[in-house]
Each structure stands twice: as C-alpha cells, then as structure tokens.
A and B are shown apart, each in its own frame.
Chain A
C-alpha cells in the first residue's frame, strides 16, 4: 500500500443510527448519498447531518462481504477503500442468480465498484459517455465505445436483496433496475436503467488473487466457478503469437525442404532389367554386381517395374547386403496388373510398378540379392520381365508435410479448447451459444426448414 496515499484518506466520521443507536462510520462523508447501518440495515440519508432514515430494515447480517468494509487496497494505480456492499440478483427461468457489488471510494478519483459473481471479479468504472448502439454480423445488439465493439450478452431485471455501508445513490433493499451487459473479454459494458436515468459503466475482469493481494485479505482467494461473461480465455483462440510462430516455423520447414532437396544427390547406383523364368529347376534367387553407396547415412529408393505384366502378379524379395559388415536390409515389393471387361466396361486393377524407400542406409559397398516369385509358379510358365532401380539419397518431402501437421496440432487443440471456453461463456447469455455458433445453428435450422 502506498503510505503517501494512506495519509490523505480522511478518517471516518462517527455517528449513530437513529433507528438502533449503533455507531455508524461515514467514510465518504460529503460524497456518499446513503449509508446503511451495519447492525439494523436501515438505510439512512448520508447527505443529512441527522442521518434521516430512508428505509427501515430490521435484519441481521445475512450476507458477509468477502472484503470487509473499511479495507483499503491498491487497484489500477490508486488506493480504494471499500465503503459499501450490496447483493443483487436476477431470476432466469425460475432460478435466482446473485452477485455482489462493493462500493470503492478514493477522495481524488471518486467511486468505483468491484463486482463479484461465483468468485469472478470485475473492477467497474462509471462511464462519462454513452456507448453507441448497433448490430453485429450475427444480428445481435452491440454497443461501441471508443471504437471498440461490445457484444450483447444478457439483459435482466436486477433486484437488490442486501445492502450495507455507504452508497453514492439512494440505495434500498428491493430496488429494481434494468441491466444490460455487453462483453468483449476482459471488458464489459453495463447499463443500469431506472425510470429516471441510465448509468453506463465499464468493468474489467480481475483475478481473485489480485483482489486478495490488493486488499491483503487472509487465506487464498476462493476458486472461481464456471466461465464468467467477461473472463478472458486462458488459451487464446484468435490469431496471435502462436500463429505467428507457426508461420515462422512453417517457413523454416520450407527452407529445410529446399535445402535438403538441393543437397540430395539422387545418384542411380543400379538400374537393371531381369527376366524371371518360373519354370525350370534351380535356384531362382541371384545377386547383383556390387555397387557403392557413397557418403554417410542416407536413404535408398528402390523402384520395381514390370512393364509387361498382364493379369498376373510378381513379388520381388530383396535383401540389400553390405559386403564388408554382412548387414542385410530385407524387404520386398509386389507388382501386379489385371485388366478385362465386365458387363461391357473395361477395368484395370493394381499397378505394374512399386517403390520402397529404405531409410538411413549407411555408406559402403553393397550388393542386392533378388528372389522373384509369381503366379506363374503355379499356373502358367510365362517369363516375367522386371526392372530394378536403386537411387541413393532422394528427397523425402512427406516429412515436411508431417512436420507442418505436427506444428498445427497444438494450434488446433488450442482453438478447440478456446471454442469450448466460448461455448461455456455464452451458455450463461440470453442466446445460449456464441455468435458464430448461432449463425451455424441458424443456417442449419433454415436448411432443415427447406427440407421440410
């Protein structure tokens, strides 16, 4: 707390309640309009030196303020003293919802308010100007203040159910005002309408912990329940820094793709056509002449093509064997091709070529052991011509697209989380759904109507 400010806050003036005789402290003497006795809850005219009773209300302290009246706290650059407290409520679909408001006073800055609902807090400042009404793209009312558009959230009739302390207006239990809230988290514009006037204010969402720290309240701030109308989303679901980072890393991936593609040697180390004779005795497998795979670890693309295959298949088992180390990389590719006519329509099936990319093959001297087999083994003794081509160090583009997808995953997750958060927020509104969802729902329902 700023000791310099503390000195200038006036000491409360001691008076007595004309209803019950209890001592009453006037903290905003000359500024407050009414003061409510903390013992009998009678509403007194603070502007009158005799504290004339405006409303008698024999009641006990039924609602305990979380911030004791008289507490001082530094919020938004000034020291504020809590001098009044009221509880208000609305009834929606037969259910009562209550929130609490604290009157804050600073002799130089005047009055501010703290609003609390389900342990969500807002610091509320009265507005000297009136926002401009409008309608957003989703046909919902808006209010514009200083060029910023706030979306209508909820309108209701609020009734004061409990008051205590000092107020800058003639507050009474049972007082009814029309309320309308327009939100743009973390801010909210609120209108309070009575028969005679409309008061506008702007609230800014404040974490409970900040309130507790400011007023030096004991224990920890109670955890907030649910999502408040002006609560900022914990995960940003609008384009922001993560999306900028995504663009930077996507560009980096593109750069890597270009770099490694340019660096890839794409060296053909074997390109040979063989003929497989299914019929006849003897070993079908054979080995190729040795070839050199240069450089360090790199991939090896194997293309197998049987250009003359017709209504048959061939499976080529292959083993890439390192002459020096005896290490073998065993794999196989199947090629097949079928065609014909069915009901007057011609058809084809499968593919005469196939390829495999062997990852991270160390450099060295290798040979390929090839062992073909085919349908001809069992049916027809037709020789099969096929080509085997080995290309060392080929570009592998798929990894960069996988990388892009991996970069997108957290952003999609964030967007989904943010959308869920917005859905929860707007559940409490007059509309039940966020503006965008409302349009989607509207579009769907109109489509259903058309179908009918």
Chain B
C-alpha cells in the first residue's frame, strides 16, 4: 500500500509541478483558431460565442 501511495502521491505532486510551470489553473474559455487580422480594425466582424444570449435579470 505504501508503494502504491508513494507512486500515486508522486504523480499528484508531479502533475501540480507541471501545472505550476505551464500556468494551468481552473478556468475555461472557447478557443478559436484563425481569427482574421481585420478584426483589429473591424471588431464587429468577430462574433463572440457569448454575446447576444439571454441574461439573468436579478432582483426581487
């Protein structure tokens, strides 16, 4: 059991070290490839994945 735990813990620690090196953190985004350079001059040419969807109207 100790051997298993040693290996398991090493993997956990190794994974955390690698995530620290690469800047991995909890969070998400949609990755889009090949955005044209024209967006720089014409922002409306790009459509966000999140824009235009219904939002929460809060308050009592």
Contact = CB atoms under 8 A, between A and B. Distances in A.
A330 B25 contact: no
A321 B39 contact: yes
Q: How large is the interface on A (under 10, 10 to 19, 20 to 34, 35 or more residues)?
A: 35 or more
A319 B48 contact: yes
B27 A357 contact: yes
Given A330-B49, A371-B48, A371-B51, A287 B56 contact: no
Contacts of A330: 29-32, 48-50
Contacts of B32: 319, 327-330
Given A249-B9, A321-B39, A403 B16 contact: yes
Contacts of A246: 5, 9
Contacts of B35: 319, 321, 326-328
Interface stretch (A21-29, A98-106, A310-318): A310-318
Nearest to A357: B27
Contacts, number: 173
Contact of A326 (B8, B23, B26, B34): B34
B58 A245 contact: no
A338 B48 CA distance: 27
Nearest to A361: B23
Given A296-B22, A315-B50, A357-B26, 20 more contacts: A242-B5, A245-B5, A287-B39, A313-B57, A313-B58, A317-B49, A318-B48, A319-B35, A321-B35, A326-B35, A330-B30, A347-B60, A357-B27, A361-B23, A371-B51, A393-B23, A396-B26, A398-B26, A399-B25, A403-B15
Interface of B: 1-2, 4-6, 8-10, 12-13, 15-17, 19-20, 22-37, 39-40, 43-44, 46, 48-52, 55-60
- 8 cross-chain pairs, A with B, having the tightest CB-CB distances, nearest first: A332-B50, A298-B23, A317-B48, A338-B59, A396-B25, A283-B44, A328-B32, A285-B43
